[in-house]
Amino acid sequence: MSNDGMFKKIKNKSVVQTVVDSITKVIISGDLKPGDKIPTEMELAESFGVGRNSIREAIKILVYYGILEIRRAEGTFVCNGFNKIMIDPMVYGVILHQSEDYVNLMELREMMEAGVLRLAIAKYDEAELEKLREKLDILRKEIEKGPDNIENVFIADNVFHDTVSEMGHNPIVDRINNVVREMTHKMRYSSVKNMLVSGRGQELYEAHEKIYEKIRDRDLSNLNEDIRRTYFPEEADM
């Protein structure tokens, strides 16, 4: 593959970051595809007009992000598929500023989970519905153990929602939904905890049972409100 004109010479103080951004843009544009071998360090240094040390550092960053992989004796290649670490910097950034982004994150969560629910309603099969029923029963049993069983209830809650996401049969949506759920981990845990310690465990269960019934009946009405009830029952009709 010729790299003539693919990479532009850099005129920027942040050389390493500019190289990272430039290589990423080339991959996004499709000029470099998953599985492609990228030019050598020497070739990249010449194309960008920078030193090889800067190229080497940029490649290290892209390898850490899961965008590139180094194969010994073969070279450096664009990774195939999705690597969770690609989104870690974004997740950490959101977590660090979660208090000021609370409303925005809740809107994102609601929008994402309503869309996931819509896909599950359209695509599920009976075996998957039975599996979801089993996850709902596990959630009920954990809730019945009392208000101190927060960790296990939260785990069962997550498994229930993960199962709904899988029922949508869209791996891209499933991955993005997992990212959103990771971003909202703290607030979701807090909601489950507050409901349990305030004696509203049954209410929490019924909100999830409603989601199950929506899927079972292929009912597309009021999805956002029903999703909201799984964490904020008192706000569902606001």
What the block records as the tokens of 227 is: 């999703």
Q: What would the two tokens of residue 238 be?
A: 């606001």
| Per-residue pLDDT, 169 | 96
**Number of neighbouring beta carbons within 10 Å of residue 233:** 16
- Name every residue whose Cβ is closer than 8 Å to that of residue 214 and which is 6 or more positions away in sequence: 117, 121, 220, 223, 226
Task: Look at residue 178 in the predicted model and tell me its pLDDT.
Answer: 84
Compute the distance between CA of residue 185 and CA of residue 208 in angstroms, rounded to an integer.
17
User: What's the pLDDT score for residue 236?
Assistant: 41
- Residue 159 has a pLDDT of 96
**65 Cβ contact list (under 8 Å, min separation 6):** 83, 85, 86, 88, 89
Per-residue pLDDT of the chain (238 residues; tens, 9 = 90+): 555 566 666 554 478 888 988 888 888 788 888 899 999 999 999 999 999 999 999 999 888 778 899 998 899 999 886 555 555 555 555 555 555 567 787 888 889 999 999 999 999 999 999 999 999 999 999 999 999 999 999 999 999 999 999 999 999 898 888 888 877 888 888 889 999 999 999 999 999 999 999 999 999 998 888 888 877 644 444 3
pTM score of the predicted model: 0.65
Q: How far apart are CA 210 and CA 85, in angstroms?
A: 34
> What whole-number distance in Å separates Cα of residue 190 and Cα of residue 148?
13
Domains in the chain, please, with CATH? 15-81 (1.10.10.10), 86-235 (1.20.120.530)
Is residue 196 within 8 Å of residue 153, measured between CB atoms? yes
Closest alpha carbon to 201 in 156, 147, 159: 147
Handedness of CA 43, 48, 49, 50 (dihedral sign): negative
Q: What single letter denotes the amino acid at residue 35? A: G
